Amino acid sequence: MIASHLLAYFFTELNHDQAQKLSVHIPIVPLLPSPTRSIVPVSPIPTAHLLPPRAPQVDKYLYHMRLSEDTLQEVSERFRKEMEKGLGADTNPTASVKMLPSFVRSTPDGTEDGDFLALDLGGTNFRVLRVKVSDNGLQKVEMESQIYEIHEDLMRGSGMQLFDHIAECLANFMEKLKIKDKKLPLGFTFSFPCHQTKLDESILVNWTKGFKCSSVEGKDVVSLLRKAIKKRGDFDIDIVAVVNDTVGTMMSCGYDDQNCEVGLIVGTGTNACYMEEMRHIDLVEGDEGRMCINMEWGAFGDDGVLNDIRTEFDHEIDMGSLNPGKQL
């Protein structure tokens, strides 16, 4: 919703003369790593052709989505307070921004190596990957991946059906690469709000992004995946870590740039993580060092702190969602 306000503000401030001066240069990059990855320049096009004069009725709707600088500063202050509430042991239960500890205590230093599997679940598609990392002074990374679809009946069916499907796709991927006889370490990216108690244990708090699988909320998703794999009996893996996609993003980018300490996702949902000082985190024991915090900022406003800037469109979309009042 905040993003729509910012875009509306930009377009309502942009006058016709400014539009004539604008041009575009669009990098087109495939989503997945590819030896044919390239950047394709697009000839500049005056956006005056793309932005015809607006009808008064359009301005009428955009007006309510504009936020003043003072309002944006106020929203920023509300957000900071929610972050502080989320980090406090006593205030966390009532915080909308949960600031969940990830138990990831450091970022990559570039010396990592090995052969790994990864699962990335966070939307209507999920990926299975094999990643080879070599520390030979060149920080070489080789990656093979396959995207699998999750149909709506699986998104709203039972948890057992979902994890059986994930295990089947993992088996299919390993069969294609002829590695079912290897016991490789696996990292599980599970991009939903979870209460994490250790690096390989993560309890789903609630589903988002259109998922509504039964018998998963309140359960450890790593245990559910292990059970589905064991039930098959045709391969074995070592699930060493479960992380949110923001954490995975930060860690993968941090491998190339050790200054990276923030992960940001804008996709089916939006979220961020960052490295926080342990002395500021009341949710886990210890004051030394740092830990990555999964903010779960998509829930900002669930407690009503943004009601004064929500529009009729926000309410209409919310009422048609699977979880009204959540993740607006």
pLDDT band at 103 (very low <50, low <70, confident <90, very high): very high
On whether the pTM is more than 0.85, the answer is no
Contact 1, 306 (CB under 8 A): yes
Encode pLDDT of 234-261 as tens digits.
999 999 999 998 999 999 888 888 899 9
pLDDT band at 134 (very low <50, low <70, confident <90, very high): confident
C-alpha 262/C-alpha 294 separation (Å) is: 10
Per the residue annotation, which of 120, 164, 200, 245 is the catalytic one?
A: 245
Point out the least confidently predicted range of 79-83, 135-139, 210-214, 239-243.
135-139
CA distances (Å), 320 to each of 314, 315, 328, in order? 10, 9, 11
Q: Looking at residue 267, what is its pLDDT?
A: 82
* Burial category of 316 from C-beta neighbours within 10 Å (exposed 0-12, middle 13-18, buried 19 and up): exposed
Per the residue annotation, which of 81, 180, 209, 212 is the catalytic one?
A: 209
pLDDT score of 41 more than 50: no
C-alpha 182/C-alpha 175 separation (Å) is: 11
C-alpha 261/C-alpha 252 separation (Å) is: 11
The CATH number of domain 114-258 is 3.30.420.40: yes
Encode pLDDT of 142-181 as tens digits.
899 999 999 999 999 999 999 999 999 999 999 999 999 9
Q: Is-catalytic flag, 209?
A: yes
Interval 55-80 mean pLDDT: 87
Q: Looking at residue 209, what is its pLDDT?
A: 85
Contact 204, 193 (CB under 8 A): yes
pLDDT score of 48 more than 80: no
Q: Is-catalytic flag, 287?
A: no
pLDDT score of 304 more than 60: yes
Q: What residue spans define the domains of the chain?
A: 2-66, 114-258
C-alpha 300/C-alpha 82 separation (Å) is: 8
Please state, for a pLDDT cut of 70, what percent of the chain lies above it. 82
Task: Count CA atoms closer than 13 A to 32's CA, side-chain side.
Answer: 13
